[in-house]
Amino acid sequence: MKLTSLLYSVFVSGVFSLHCGNNTHEWAACDESITGSGKYVGYLATKDPFFLDPISNLTIIEIQKMHFGSEAVDNTDIHPDYKIYICPITGKTWFLSVSLVYNKKHTVKKRDWDTAISEMVGAMNEHKTFQSTINTDAGSMTIEAFHLSKSGYY
């Protein structure tokens, strides 16, 4: 199951992203899609003029690893996770952030949102933004991926 999910994620992120509205001046909504635990709606942050390097498939896999299921928490607080990741293929350094909130209406398993993560990061690449949000009836997840290698801060 893990290998199948991984291969599907790589395939999806390489060829598919959601259709989203115009994010040139403000956040934009994306079309509804399906996750392992139901439907979701995605949103993209405003287009960033400094977005030059797309988020790689290996970086997407790292973001997917940062997602944990709702069974891992016993409250409805925000659960952030941060990581500095150096892609072994591109050599680029990324700051990754995932913030999860579960409302406990439904159980979300650890890998349930892998497809949604791939689709949203694909949309982030297509629409040149560093942040997106996944909203479901079970909770939400904010994804951020900032390329640090050229920023002068790292």
Q: What is the pLDDT of residue 5?
A: 43
CB of 123 within 8 A of CB of 20? yes
pLDDT beneath 50: ranges in the chain: 1-15, 154
Q: What is the pLDDT of residue 14?
A: 44
Residue with tokens 């607080």: 77
Sketch the domain layout of the chain as residue ranges: 2-147
- Cα 80 to its chain centre, rounded Å, is 13
Q: What is the pLDDT of residue 13?
A: 42
At 22-55, the pLDDT tens digits run 888 888 888 888 887 778 888 988 888 878 889 9
Q: What is the largest CA-CA distance in the chain?
A: 43
